[in-house]
Amino acid sequence: MNATLWGFMGRFAVRVLFSTLRVKTSGQIELRQIKDAGTPVIFVFWHGRLLPLVHVHRHAGIVVLVSEHRDGEYLARLLHDFGFSTVRGSSTRGGARGLKGLVRAARMGRDLAITPDGPRGPNRELKLGALAVARLTGLPLVPVGVGVTSAWHARSWDQFVVPKLFSTVHITYGPACFVPRNADRAEIDGAVQKLERGLRDVASRVGDDDPS
């Protein structure tokens, strides 16, 4: 069986899984205020929690940063199936190209999504790519927490979560974090600390505390 057919079958299985999930969301007041003002946002979440968010934010036109590694190709196809756009690049390969693509999408009014510990980890270790995009675009960073009542955890660096059939997905959004365009080192450090606290807080609120 070739890779294309395997990919099709995998995406079909994901659709079946998604059809059984229940979703609960919280922390949306500030996010709605930002969106009502017509401002795009940069969603920031840990790499291992991506799959439930594909379901929750499907067909919303979000632009996702995806690595240029082989596994990134499979992920890009899945994202396209569910109405996302992708920009290819990462901190380890194609970084400048990915950054330019995200800035271009932001100027077109698109929401962005970045996993700040991707594409290779370490797990839940914040890299500065999301902060760079926020600084260049002026868009707010919105931390997202993902919890699942019953799930499989892959034996991968990110402990990738796959919800089990008929489980409940809990999504929560934290306070927005801004990075001034002319931010100095101290302001960048402060933004990093605020985003790290935000990611820890939303994870705790949905029962997804770091197991390490």
CATH of segment(s) 3-205: 3.40.1130.10
- Pick from 59, 52, 53: nearest CA to 83: 59
Q: How confident is the model at residue 4 (pLDDT cuts 50, 70, 90)?
A: low
Q: Would the pTM count as exceeding 0.85?
A: yes
Q: What is the largest CA-CA distance in the chain?
A: 54
Backbone angles phi, psi at 112, to 5 degrees: -120, 160
- For residue range 11-55, list pLDDT tens digits in order: 889 999 999 999 999 999 999 999 999 999 999 999 999 999 999
Alpha helices, H only, 22-172: 29-36, 50-56, 70-81, 95-107, 129-137
- For residue range 148-180, list pLDDT tens digits in order: 999 999 999 999 999 999 999 999 999 999 999
